[in-house]
A and B are shown apart, each in its own frame.
Chain A
Amino acid sequence: MTAAETVKLKEKKKEKYWVATVKKLFRNKLAIIGLVIVMIQIVMAVFAPLMTSYDPVKQDLVNSEMPLFSEGHWLGTDNYGRDVWTRIVFGARISLVVGITAVSLGLLGGIVLGLLAGYYRRLDAVIMRIVDLLFSFPGILLAMLIIAILGTSLVNVAIAISIWSVPTCARIVRGSVLSIKEKEYIMAMRSMGASDLRIMVRHILPNASAPIIVFATMRMATAILSTASLSYLGLGAQPPTPEWGAMISQGQDFMWSSPHLTIVPGIAIMLTVFAFNVLGDGLRDALDPNMDI
């Protein structure tokens, strides 16, 4: 077999693997439900201004605290007369943006540290001790410590959650690197004179992608939940930002008269977190049922 044929065969195998993965994922009903909810949220987030004719922050005190299914406001209005559906739709945008930012930054840090720790034995001890140290804090506490330094805002929440994600991601990547770097094809690349950077980025990282994809999906659920929690505590989004956690916090004061102000954003958070969790579960089963995440 010529070299070109070998490459073709490898590409075919790779394609087959991904097709099989997608097929497996689509056989999982819960994962499909999760995927549909995530897609709906993405559509809501991208086309938010087209999905409502109201402003999410503009007050309309004449129409305050309207109940569910009121005319023109099917999810009612809050104590300032703001349309709850509008705030939910714009809240989806905030949740996704903060979640994606936090997870991307966390992945970046985790992948770099994990690759270095797994590939270079000398760096391993130092990096993993730092990771162990970060693991000594319950996640929300670490996030709060970072917010205590940076101050309260949504941007700082994203940074805090990303730092909190780094140690877990680093551990996952390191574990994969340790097993992959001993494989024959990596040794072959090394003997052919490939640089460490090339081996890590072109050959190890793609082969460690499965657990990273699963981690990222599940971490989206954690990130969205944590953003809402921190905003609920008053450490994230500040009024009048239409963030779901902040909406629950404000709605709690009107629980007696307008319980929907608390119930509706809670359902939005729950559905989104549920969707990312089941999608992550489905991806894990489809990519590799023995994966340890």
Chain B
Amino acid sequence: MIALIIRRFLQLVFLLFGISFLVFSSMYIAPGDPAAVIGGPTATESDISAIRANLGLDDPFLVQYARYVGNAVQGDFGYSYQTTQPVADAITVRFPNTLKLAIASMVVAVIIGIITGLISALRQNSWLDVSATTFALAGISIPNFWLGAILILIFSVNLQWLPVGGMSNPFYTVEGLKELVLPAITLGTGSAAMIARMARSSMLEVIRADYVRTARAKGVREKNIIWIHTLKNAMIPIITVIGLNFGFLLGGTIITEKVFAINGVGRLMIDAIAARDFPMVQGSVLLVATLFVLVNLLVDIVYTYIDPRIKYD
């Protein structure tokens, strides 16, 4: 187990180098001169040359990349072209909102997804199953930015139960929780649908296994069969989907933050792309991608704990 974790961490280091290389080179080949952007429309040729020299933009690509990685591991991701604020500071301020949203959506997705999938499997072919399957299909097909808009229309505009957007209060206050409800449902619905589909098929598979039949024949109570014999074994593929979906949710926060005007990393990224603020794009993409691979690593480790038969070569 420890050997596996060490090996996966070593692979992670290489992967992170790969990600940083891809992100850095993407911005390097992007059209437009960063020095001209920083200098602004009034900058002269000599001003732009001075900025280029100052930022080391005349250095060879690999030198610039090595400098970027060297600074990045010390938490320095450069400065925004737009605001001249350090990228790390801008991300640090906004990251808690993104994380809060991703975790809240994951909680919504896991609770709704597993319960729906379980009910669907345990009452196969009943109206409950049909409703749950329809929900799952609809959940996958609904654009989350549209769902967000509709939820705002119903719960904020018409019923006035929940705020239209923003995320300024701590999550442990009533106001903070109210702010989280709609964005979490908006973002979590798609993942809930995927988890429900997987939970249903995984439960149906396990429920027909020989050892479950044996347990039933031995007179084990149905509740114990479900909770002890079935659920743990059915959880392996479900955890895979949950893990993969956390990455999906991290990506999804970008859109949900825009719908609900939440000041998070996703919105920062969209604004940075629109303004071609490359250091900001680099920093935020790098952060989200790093989190994504870390979550995947965590999922891999959890697998081996839940199912010790799994061994990675």
Contact = CB atoms under 8 A, between A and B. Distances in A.
A129 B27 CA distance: 21
A139 B153 CA distance: 29
B258 interface: yes
Contacts of A232: 143, 145, 255, 258
Q: 10 closest A-B pairs (Cβ-Cβ)?
A: A138-B251, A266-B146, A274-B141, A273-B141, A140-B251, A149-B30, A133-B18, A148-B273, A138-B247, A232-B145
Contacts of A151: 31
A153 to B, nearest CB: 13
Of B23, B149, B152, the most chain A CB neighbours within 10 A belong to B149
Given A148-B26, A233-B270, A255-B152, A245 B251 contact: no
B204 to A, nearest CB: 14
B252 interface: yes
24 contacts: A136-B293, A138-B247, A138-B248, A138-B289, A139-B251, A145-B23, A147-B273, A152-B274, A225-B143, A228-B143, A229-B144, A229-B145, A233-B270, A234-B270, A234-B274, A235-B273, A235-B274, A245-B145, A248-B143, A248-B149, A262-B150, A266-B146, A277-B140, A277-B141
Interface string A130-147: 001100111111001111
A270 B138 contact: yes
Interface in A97-141: 129, 132-133, 136-141
A59 B7 CA distance: 62
B254 A140 contact: yes
Contacts of A273: 140-143
Contact of A136 (B137, B270, B289): B289
B273 A245 contact: no
Of A138, A139, A233, A270, the most chain B CB neighbours within 10 A belong to A138
B19 A133 contact: yes
Nearest to B278: A148
B55 to A, nearest CB: 19
B251 A141 contact: yes
A232 B147 CA distance: 13
Contacts of A141: 250-251, 254, 285, 288-289, 292
Interface of B: 15, 18-19, 22-23, 26-27, 29-31, 137-138, 140-146, 149-150, 152-153, 157, 247-248, 250-252, 254-255, 258, 269-270, 272-274, 276, 278, 281, 285, 288-289, 292-293
B135 to A, nearest CB: 12
Given A266-B149, A266-B150, A274-B141, A133 B22 contact: yes
Interface of A: 30, 129, 132-133, 136-141, 144-149, 151-152, 221, 225, 228-229, 232-235, 245, 248-249, 252, 255-256, 259, 262-263, 265-266, 269-271, 273-274, 277-278
B15 A133 contact: yes
A183 B150 CA distance: 53
A114 B152 CA distance: 44
A229 B270 CA distance: 12
A262 B270 contact: no
A120 B27 CA distance: 32
B258 A269 contact: no
Given A148-B30, A149-B30, A278-B137, A140 B255 contact: yes
B250 A138 contact: yes
A81 B153 CA distance: 22
A255 B149 contact: yes
A233 B254 CA distance: 9
Contacts of A255: 149, 152-153, 157
A248 B150 CA distance: 11
Given A233-B258, A259-B153, A148 B276 contact: yes
Contacts of A132: 15
A34 B289 CA distance: 34
Of A145, A248, A262, A277, the most chain B CB neighbours within 10 A belong to A145
Given A129-B18, A262-B146, A274-B140, 18 more contacts: A147-B273, A148-B30, A149-B26, A229-B144, A232-B143, A232-B258, A233-B258, A234-B270, A245-B143, A248-B143, A255-B152, A255-B157, A262-B150, A266-B142, A269-B146, A271-B141, A277-B140, A277-B141
B255 A229 contact: yes
A262 B258 contact: no
Given A137-B292, A138-B292, A274-B137, A252 B269 contact: no
A262 B149 contact: yes
B18 A144 contact: no
B150 A149 contact: no
Given A138-B292, A140-B254, A148-B276, A262 B143 contact: no
A136 B292 contact: yes
A115 B248 CA distance: 28
A271 B254 CA distance: 23
Nearest to B281: A148
Nearest to A273: B141
A233 to B, nearest CB: 5
Contacts of A148: 26-27, 30, 272-273, 276, 278, 281
A235 B293 CA distance: 25
A136 B150 contact: no
